[in-house]
Structure 1
Amino acid sequence: MSVSVRIPTILRTYTGGESEVSASGETLAAVLDDLDTNYNGIKGRILDEAGELRRFVNVYVGNDDVRFLDNLSTPTPDGAQISVIPAVAGG
């Protein structure tokens, strides 16, 4: 299953500047593993030391926040668009 992953500017150093890359996997966890195989180190910027999504990183499959779905077990159907979005804080 091939999906497209939108990469935020801050993580594009891992993808050679690419804003969108392809990955495969039936769940978000599998997609992140595939991403890390092709773009070494990127998964460590998305997941924390416990293997959970970092607190200030939001991930969407389509238009749905995976935190309100099945987190890393969220299905990623063929052709899905996954967006990795760092939270922005400020005042």
Structure 2
Amino acid sequence: MATVRLAPVLRAAVGNSKKVVAQGNTLAEVLSDLFQRYPDLKEQIQTGDELSKFVNVYVNDQDVRYLKQLATEVGPNDTVSLLPAMAGGF
């Protein structure tokens, strides 16, 4: 199972855990497994069938936008990181 690391803003949707595990051979499968157990997380991560443009997703510290997006391969010892984009200003 892959380890999924969650930014603090997402942790409430998974019982305040910093990390959870999920099964799948691709990012899409890992997220599907995750969303089945934590449905409130989906609206923060995906828009329809695509990743939200306001979330940065990494597999082993590599941005999936430069890999295969949802088709990115994920192995059982890999780490997926979910980081919502943050903006600020005055």
Q: Same fold (TM over 0.5)?
A: yes
Post-superposition offset of 1:40: 1.8
Structure 1 counterpart of 2:19: 20
Gaps of 5+ in 2: none
2:50 partner SS: coil
RMSD between superposed Cα atoms in Å = 1.0
Q: Matched residues, percent identical?
A: 43
Q: How does 1:28-67 map to 2 (within 5 A)?
A: 28-48=27-47, 50-67=48-65
AA matched with 1:41 = D
The TM-score normalised by the length of structure 1 is: 0.92
1:13 partner SS: helix
Structure 1 counterpart of 2:6: 7
Distance 2:27 2:84 in 1: 17
The TM-score normalised by the length of structure 2 is: 0.92
Distance 1:58 1:6 in 2: 12
Structure 1 counterpart of 2:80: 82
Distance 2:50 2:39 in 1: 18
Post-superposition offset of 1:45: 1.2
AA matched with 1:16 = G
Aligned residues: 89
1:82 partner SS: strand
Distance 1:41 1:73 in 2: 22
Distance 1:61 1:13 in 2: 22
Post-superposition offset of 1:33: 0.5
Post-superposition offset of 1:90: 2.2
Higher helix share: 2
Post-superposition offset of 1:78: 1.3
